[in-house]
């Protein structure tokens, strides 16, 4: 992934220091003055953080937490902002108005938000926030990783914010449970690790939930998929072809699944199984199930495999597993092979072939003594299409292959590419040049299109589905 050092969320996107912009070269004459300026800025920032900390301590004494709990989030924030303004007037009466506004926001974020990283979480262009240590905060914007100049005071400061996150979610963070992976109220995923598992510092990683749902037309305009693939996928979804979306972390697998799901007819009953919930379906007849971790006493866990098996008793027309990552792969294949067609799921892998290897390994985790050949026979019978999505060098996310699971030849599963991305390298603008092209191969399941009365030709006007 591309990485850049920037001044933080207050700086223009992609801005760099003068040294980095000129290849790291700095004249000797400017070196001492630059160091002095940096020292002054550092002292000012330390003074600012100290003022925010003192104001926060005052708020803890002056505000009644029980009163804030009775208010909604916006009312609570307004109440804290008013209290912060009063405290700031007492602690720093002569401060400039612009700086005063910034400090009130920082104090409020410290009191009821996520501290220094709250402004990153509020930035709609930031997709991920990573805290490695007090002075090591990174964020992703536009597929590019940036270093922020935001800081925590120390490790205890990080731990305090981490505790605030997990307590609100009903989870526990201590030596007995030093790692938490959960979902924030807005749907964002948060991961927290504390010592001894993270010996240098507590870490916080937040993958923000994309509030705006990308439809197929949006993905076509962004260049993530082509119109030909969009029409083909519409036909596949309506014809109940079993589809696996494969890709690495942060490549847009769930975004693609959400977009493809718009082609599911309204007449179908859909059951989704996730851990955590990320799929956003627009249909009315949807049942959403979410896995649950064990409680503090080690009991009460409900796995995705439990939910897949239960979903079969719920009379589903279609089962969607947000991400298959364990033994539930066995039950998913069984469902696809016993009349529950049109399944959709995602898997972490780097290629269609790798996706099959991963699913095979996950089936083995179910505890049944099955040979590799038997598992592969089940996979060939159940899985029909693999969509591979990658994040390219320029940070864009694109479908790079649509591959049919064709047959089992000996002990090897035969794959054939239906669409492939023709990568022509990096252009003058720094963007990856290329396009997704059909190979001309007719898939074995193409006869289903006619049976379901749907054409693989894209209809951009409505994107409608022609049903008999």
Phi, psi of 258 (to 5 degrees): -60, -40
* Mode of pairing for the β-strands spanning 270-274 and 189-193: unpaired
| Burial degree of 234 (CB within 10 A; 0-12, 13-18, 19+) | buried
How many residues are recorded in the chain? 468
What is the number of other CB atoms lying within 10 angstroms of the CB of residue 357? 12
Give pLDDT, residue 184: 85
Q: For 3-18+29-207, CATH number?
A: 3.30.450.90
Domain 216-451: assigned CATH number: 3.40.50.300
Predicted pLDDT of residue 51:
81
According to the model, what pLDDT value does residue 5 have? 44
Phi and psi torsions of 2, nearest 5°: -65, 140
DSSP string, 299-344: ---B-HHHHHHHHTTS--SEEEES---STHHHHHHHHHHTT--S-E
Give me the pLDDT at residue 40, please: 67
Give the pLDDT of residue 101.
83
Q: Where are the domains of the chain?
A: 3-18+29-207, 216-451
The whole-number pLDDT of residue 130 equals 97
Cα angle 112-113-118, degrees, rounded to a multiple of 5: 160
- How far apart CA 98 and CA 406 sit, in angstroms, is 64
Tell whether the torsion through CA atoms of 3, 350, 448 and 274 is positive or negative. negative
Residues of the chain with pLDDT under 70: 1-34, 37-38, 40, 65-66, 69, 210-213, 296, 460-468
User: In the sheet that 270-274 helps form, which strands lie side by side, from edge to edge?
Assistant: 286-290, 270-274, 318-321, 344-348, 243-247, 385-391, 397-409, 412-426, 432-438
pLDDT computed for residue 109 by the predictor: 87
* pTM recorded for the entire structure: 0.75
What is the C-alpha separation between 16 and 7, in angstroms, rounded? 7
**For the CA atoms of the chain, what is the radius of gyration?**
26
**How much is the pLDDT for 13?**
38
CA 123 to the chain's CA centroid? 16
Distance between the two ends of the chain, CA-based, in angstroms? 47
Query: Rounded CA gap, 165 and 396, in Å?
Result: 31
């Amino acid at each position: 992934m591309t990485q850049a050092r920037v001044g933080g969320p207050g700086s223009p996107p992609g801005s760099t220091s003068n040294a980095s912009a000129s290849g790291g070269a700095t004249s000797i004459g400017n070196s001492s003055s630059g160091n002095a300026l940096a020292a002054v800025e550092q002292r000012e920032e330390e003074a600012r953080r100290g003022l925010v900390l003192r104001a926060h301590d005052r708020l803890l004494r002056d505000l009644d937490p029980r009163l804030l709990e009775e208010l909604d989030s916006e009312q609570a924030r307004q109440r804290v902002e008013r209290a912060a303004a009063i405290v700031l007037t007492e602690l720093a009466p002569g401060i400039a108005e612009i700086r005063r506004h910034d400090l009130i926001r920082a104090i409020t974020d410290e009191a009821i938000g996520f501290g220094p990283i709250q402004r990153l979480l509020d930035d709609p262009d930031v997709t991920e926030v990573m805290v490695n240590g007090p002075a090591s905060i990174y964020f992703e914007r536009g597929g590019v990783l940036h270093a922020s100049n935001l800081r925590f005071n120390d490790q205890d400061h990080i731990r305090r914010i981490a505790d605030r996150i997990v307590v609100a979610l009903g989870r526990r963070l201590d030596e007995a449970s030093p790692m938490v992976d959960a979902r924030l109220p807005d749907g964002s995923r948060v991961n927290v690790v504390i010592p001894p598992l993270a010996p240098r510092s507590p870490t916080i990683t937040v993958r923000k939930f994309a509030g705006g749902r990308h439809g197929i037309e949006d993905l076509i305009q962004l260049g993530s998929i082509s119109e030909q693939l969009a029409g083909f996928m519409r036909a596949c979804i309506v014809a109940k072809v079993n589809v696996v979306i494969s890709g690495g972390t942060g490549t847009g697998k769930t975004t693609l699944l959400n977009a493809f799901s718009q082609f599911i007819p309204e007449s179908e009953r859909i059951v989704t199984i996730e851990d955590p919930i990320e799929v956003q379906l627009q249909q009315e007849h949807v049942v959403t199930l979410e896995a649950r971790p064990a409680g503090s006493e080690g009991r009460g866990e409900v796995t995705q495999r439990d939910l897949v098996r239960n979903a079969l008793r719920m009379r589903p027309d279609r089962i969607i597993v947000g991400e298959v990552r364990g033994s539930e792969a066995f039950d998913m294949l069984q469902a696809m092979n016993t009349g529950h067609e049109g399944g959709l799921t995602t898997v972490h892998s780097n290629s269609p072939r790798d996706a099959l290897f991963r699913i095979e390994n996950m089936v083995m985790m179910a505890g049944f003594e099955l040979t590799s050949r038997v598992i592969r026979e089940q996979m060939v019978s159940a899985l029909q299409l693999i969509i591979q999505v990658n994040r390219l060098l320029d940070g864009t996310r694109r479908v790079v292959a649509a591959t049919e699971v064709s047959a089992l030849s000996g002990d090897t599963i035969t794959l054939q590419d239906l669409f492939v991305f023709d990568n022509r390298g990096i252009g003058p603008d720094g963007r990856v040049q290329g396009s997704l092209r059909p190979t001309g191969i007719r898939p074995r399941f193409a006869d289903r299109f006619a049976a379901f009365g749907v054409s693989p030709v894209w209809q951009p006007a409505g994107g409608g589905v022609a049903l008999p």
